[in-house]
């Protein structure tokens, strides 16, 4: 039986119907229309999605929900609409000018955890940190660690600094505007990097192509332009026993691995949850 107020307004059926309708409309826009509808509804209500799904009878459809759905129908990413994205064990604020964290990138943190275990690295460097994604996830994993995040975009760094403060990590992290590792004079136990690796000719979904920063996505005609700049500069940045973990495209294992070997590294590949090549672990070759 549906709960209702004094006017007889049925809350569960109203919310359920609104979610069904939104998901049906979003099916042509999104690969995850029901999830998108639920996230937008939860945001409009000011609650967690889990609370919405656990007891929808508590809620009526808020007035702002329809406008959020319209924004998603125009291909605006859900993360930009709601202003955040969960990654690893943390929540990050994101918006225009910052690359949205992807679940696939958690493969880099998983690989680092497997490498270091609970003891963890003491110093972490995140090249191309964006909104602080990899660095702040690493600091959440290892409370004794500190680190540096570098990005060419002051807009992205603004999100990163805000995220560090919101997570209580401001004293453990420094964010700098820079060009990959150029000018960095210290060494690090763990270097993380999710560089642009999409070829200039690749067609992307409108959600990505029309909204996320192109400089964080595209890397020349073959998608390797930034790896060619980053990898040769890594050896002097690694502390003894350190490891660099780089995200790669699903078809780039051998190409990026060859660049790493030429720079004196041994490379190991890790797959994401879908079984696609996603991360290379680089350690100095014996």
pLDDT tens-digit series, residues 70-88: 999 999 999 999 999 999 9
Using one digit for the tens of pLDDT, what is the confidence trace for 204-220? 999 999 999 999 999 99
Output the pTM of the full model.
0.93
Using one digit for the tens of pLDDT, what is the confidence trace for 179-197? 999 999 999 999 999 999 9
Mean pLDDT over residues 50-59, rounded? 90
For residues 28 and 158, membership in a common domain is answered with no
Domain boundary among 35, 53, 74: 74
For residues 48 and 134, membership in a common domain is answered with no
Q: Give the CATH number of the domain where residue 40 resides.
A: 1.10.8
Q: Does residue 138 fall inside a structural domain?
A: yes
- Show the beta-strand stretches assigned E in 70-226: 84-87, 90-93, 123-127, 146-151, 173-177, 188-193
For residues 56 and 133, membership in a common domain is answered with no
State how many domains the chain has. 2
Residue 10: its pLDDT value, please? 42
CA angle, 218 then 187 then 181, to 5°: 25
The residue written with tokens 């291909």 in the block is 75
Provide the 10 A C-beta neighbour count for residue 275. Answer: 8
Enclosing domain of residue 15? 11-74
For residues 69 and 173, membership in a common domain is answered with no
d(CA 270, CA 120): 19
For residues 141 and 237, membership in a common domain is answered with yes
Instruction: Pick the closest to residue 258 from 250, 270, 248, 266 (CA basis).
Output: 266
């Amino acid at each position: 039986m549906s709960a209702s107020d004094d006017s007889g307004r049925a809350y569960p059926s109203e919310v359920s119907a609104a979610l069904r309708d939104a998901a049906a409309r979003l099916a042509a826009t999104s690969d995850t229309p029901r999830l998108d509808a639920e996230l937008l509804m939860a945001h409009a209500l000011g609650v967690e999605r889990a609370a919405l799904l656990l007891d929808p009878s508590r809620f009526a459809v808020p007035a702002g929900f329809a406008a959020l759905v319209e924004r998603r129908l125009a291909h605006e990413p859900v993360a930009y609409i709601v202003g955040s994205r969960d990654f690893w064990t943390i929540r990050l604020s994101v918006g225009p000018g910052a690359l949205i964290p992807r679940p696939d990138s958690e493969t880099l943190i998983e690989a680092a955890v497997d490498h270091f275990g609970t003891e963890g690295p003491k110093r972490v460097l995140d090249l191309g940190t964006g909104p602080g994604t990899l660095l702040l996830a690493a600091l959440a994993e290892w409370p004794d660690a500190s680190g540096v995040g570098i990005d060419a975009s002051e807009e992205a760094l603004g999100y990163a600094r805000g995220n560090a403060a919101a997570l209580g990590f401001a004293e453990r992290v420094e964010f700098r505007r820079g060009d990959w590792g150029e000018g960095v004079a210290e060494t690090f136990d763990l270097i993380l990097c999710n560089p642009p690796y999409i070829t200039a000719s690749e067609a992307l979904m409108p959600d990505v192509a029309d909204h996320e920063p192109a400089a964080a996505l595209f890397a020349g005609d073959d998608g390797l332009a930034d790896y060619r700049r980053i990898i040769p500069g890594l050896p002097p940045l690694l502390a003894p026993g350190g490891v660099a973990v780089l995200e790669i495209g699903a078809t780039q294992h051998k190409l990026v691995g060859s660049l790493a070997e030429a720079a004196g590294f041994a490379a190991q590949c890790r797959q994401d949850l879908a079984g696609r090549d996603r991360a290379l672990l680089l350690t100095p070759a014996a």
